[in-house]
């Protein structure tokens, strides 16, 4: 007779074992490079020379905050985010309502939204068909 308390542990182990490859890939390709970039940001390092990296502390960050180009780009990014994100969410919501509600002209709005996507896929398929054809011109 199996013990009842082992079943939840076994199910949890199976679930975690399915997630493990994603965790490994995330750690190798995302987490470690972010941490390494943060560590390197405290050094003066030139990859083209063979000199050893020199620890400079937060001097790089102080220099960054004093740079006018960085401040302008930070302001532009904030403005873009504060303006573009709400507008795109609002327009996406309006388009979703237009595509979902039943009213005269609904089919026109559906066509106006979906036809560009379909046409680009058809053109792409035709181009690849011509590229991969066995004829001398392809």
Per-residue 3-state assignment (H helix, E strand, C coil) for 116-128 = HHHHHHHHHHHHH
Which has more pLDDT, 55 or 135? 55
Alpha helices, DSSP H, located in the chain:
6-26, 32-40, 59-66, 68-100, 106-131
Contact call for residues 116 and 106 (beta carbons, < 8 A): no
**pLDDT value at position 2?**
61
> Could you give the CA distance from residue 45 to residue 134 in angstroms, rounded to a whole number?
53
Q: Quickly state the pLDDT bin for 4 (edges 50, 70, 90).
A: confident
Domain ranges within the chain, ordered by starting residue:
1-56
**pLDDT value at position 1?**
53
Taking the mean position of all CA atoms in its chain, how far away is CA 56? 32
* pLDDT, tens digit (0-9, with 9 covering 90-100), for 32-46: 999 999 999 999 988
95 Cβ contact partners less than 8 Å away, ≥ 6 residues apart? 109, 113
> Could you give the CA distance from residue 90 to residue 46 in angstroms, rounded to a whole number?
46
Measured CA to CA in angstroms, residue 132 lies from 67, 118, 128, 137 at distances of: 51, 21, 6, 10
**pLDDT value at position 114?**
87
Work out the mean pLDDT of the chain and round it to a whole number. Answer: 90
Per-residue 3-state assignment (H helix, E strand, C coil) for 71-98 = HHHHHHHHHHHHHHHHHHHHHHHHHHHH
In the predicted structure, residue 138 carries a pLDDT above the cut 70 = no
* pLDDT, tens digit (0-9, with 9 covering 90-100), for 63-98: 999 999 999 999 999 999 999 999 999 999 988 887
**pLDDT value at position 68?**
96
């Amino acid at each position: 007779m199996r013990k009842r308390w082992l079943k939840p542990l076994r199910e949890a182990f199976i679930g975690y074992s399915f997630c493990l490859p994603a965790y490994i890939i995330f750690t190798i390709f995302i987490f470690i490079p972010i941490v390494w970039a943060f560590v390197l940001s405290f050094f003066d390092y030139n990859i083209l020379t063979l000199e050893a990296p020199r620890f400079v502390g937060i001097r790089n960050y102080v220099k960054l905050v004093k740079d006018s180009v960085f401040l302008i780009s930070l302001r532009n990014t904030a403005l873009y985010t504060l303006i573009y994100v709400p507008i795109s969410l609002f327009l996406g919501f309006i388009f979703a309502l237009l595509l979902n509600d039943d009213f005269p002209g609904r089919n026109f709005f559906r066509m106006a939204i979906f036809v560009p996507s379909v046409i680009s896929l058809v053109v792409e398929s035709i181009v690849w068909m011509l590229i991969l054809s066995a004829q001398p011109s392809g």
